[in-house]
Amino acid sequence: MKFSIEKELGNSRGRVGKIETAHGDIQTPAFIVVGTKATVKALTPEQVSSLGAQAVLANTYHLYLQPGEEILKKAGGFPKFMNWQGPTFTDSGGFQAFSLGAAFNKSASKIGNRHDEENSADAVVDPLEIPADRFAKVTEDGVEFKSIIDGSAHFFTPERSMDIQHNIGADIMFAFDECTSPLASYEYQKEAMDRTHRWAKRSLEHHRKTNEKDQALFGIVQGGRHEDLRKESAKIIGAMDFDGFGIGGSFEKEDIYTAVGWVNDELPKGKPRHLLGIGEPVDLFGGIENGIDTFDCVTPTRIARNGSLYTRNGRINILNAKFMEDFGKIDGDCACYTCTNYAPAYLSHLFRAKEMLGATLASIHNLYFIVNLVKEIRQSMLDDRFFEFKESFLKGYYK
């Protein structure tokens, strides 16, 4: 993997660049489409490619459980298995330690809010004291977890995560890390961050010894919402010989861009930076302005399956009664397959009738919207009009 910076954004940390992989180039900034189980839900790989996506990210934890790493290895890796021709990423499985353990059946997520603090005791538990009914538990050596499919017991270590990702076969992998809740205490955030650093070193050492496919490995910066921890983590992870870097949760919504800036001021300038699991329009602008090169997020397809669609004038719910007889366009000048061929009334009918095609058409539109919004942001940077475009877009979207 190679990364080059083509242009830097004046008065900010942003930059335009290119990631070169064995399976093609990624023009950055870029939105990486999530294909959790070697599939982008409701879409074929050809549809994903045709809407402008450059790369796909799959989930190590889910592919390990089903169909299993050995099947993927025999298939030649998950990209070949799913017939995706472009660049690919895999995450490490670390986030599942959080979502299946400390946050299981709770309201906690990667993104917090200051107003949530008063309820923090109910939202998350100390991951070292997880009750037996949870699906995952953190130890110093790795993560113990139960399969969400059959309840069988498994154990991920940094080394095991690397082996699985080697077998899964993506161009870009992530080191094993511990994601914490933004509501976790400062003491636990530091404890988890220090453990992530130890796991990063183990991940990198094992990867260098066993990597036979020239896959790239990104280290992950943690530290929660705390400036001193974020900077410390960025310095330590940045000093390791990773090919690039991921910035992991957890964040406080009000300070996410500030936290990204803290990190990117410390990371080596000449390597790519990926913001894990973040992808709302305002977050794309904020992340790019503060030095993010790539993003991934399940939100565009997840909300699409519930009938929520992005437009230049904000989100709409296609199930609202006003769309039942709307024979215009979903979103102004949108050139996606859905907007070109179907009216809001038809999508409203599909969702009301619970027809599967509704999820497909809505997902095509939402992914097209986000993928091409990032491409527009990239072009605005090349044209020296980023800040004007940002102001104009966000004024219309959040009016």
| 59-115 confidence digits (pLDDT tens) | 999 999 999 999 999 999 999 999 999 999 999 887 765 566 444 444 445 554 433
pTM for this predicted structure: 0.92
296 classed as catalytic: yes
For residue 123, name the pLDDT band (cuts at 50, 70, 90).
very low
Cα separation of 34 and 53, whole Å?
A: 10
- Residue 116, pLDDT score: 39
Inter-residue contact 187 to 105 (CB < 8 Å): no
CA-wise closest residue to 286 among 9, 5, 14 = 14
- Residue 108, pLDDT score: 46
34-52 confidence digits (pLDDT tens): 999 999 999 999 999 999 9
CA distances from 203 to 21, 93, 162 (A): 21, 13, 6
- Residue 151, pLDDT score: 86
Enter the DSSP assignment of 78.
Answer: H
Torsional sign, CA 129, 133, 139, 142: negative
Segment 354-382 mean pLDDT? 98
The SS3 call for residue 99 is helix
91 classed as catalytic: yes
For residue 133, name the pLDDT band (cuts at 50, 70, 90).
very low
Tokens read off for 174: 């992530």
Single-letter code of the amino acid located at 117:
E
- Residue 124, pLDDT score: 40
From 91, 177, 243, 283, the catalytic residue: 91
Tokens 């437009």, residue?
311
Q: How many CB atoms lie within 10 A of CB 72?
A: 23
- Residue 120, pLDDT score: 34
Tokens read off for 374: 């990032």
Cα separation of 248 and 278, whole Å?
A: 9
Q: C-alpha angle 208/213/216, rounded to 5°?
A: 60
CA-wise closest residue to 88 among 45, 128, 123 = 45
Cα separation of 306 and 166, whole Å?
A: 35
Residue 323 predicted with pLDDT over 80: yes
209-259 confidence digits (pLDDT tens): 999 889 999 999 999 889 999 999 999 999 999 999 999 877 766 678 899
Instruction: Return the H-helix or E-strand segment holding 138.
Output: strand 136-138
- Residue 212, pLDDT score: 86
Residue 132 predicted with pLDDT over 90: no
175-185 confidence digits (pLDDT tens): 999 988 888 88
Higher pLDDT, 142 or 120: 142
Phi, psi of 216, deg, nearest 5: -85, 150
Q: Which domains does the chain have, with CATH numbers?
A: 2-297 (3.20.20.105), 310-397 (no CATH)
- Residue 167, pLDDT score: 97
Tokens 């990190």, residue?
263
Torsional sign, CA 89, 93, 96, 102: negative
Q: Over pLDDT 90: what percentage of the chain?
A: 78
From 122, 296, 333, 384, the catalytic residue: 296
Q: How many CB atoms lie within 10 A of CB 4?
A: 13
- Residue 96, pLDDT score: 64
- Residue 227, pLDDT score: 94
CA-wise closest residue to 290 among 353, 250, 247, 321 = 247
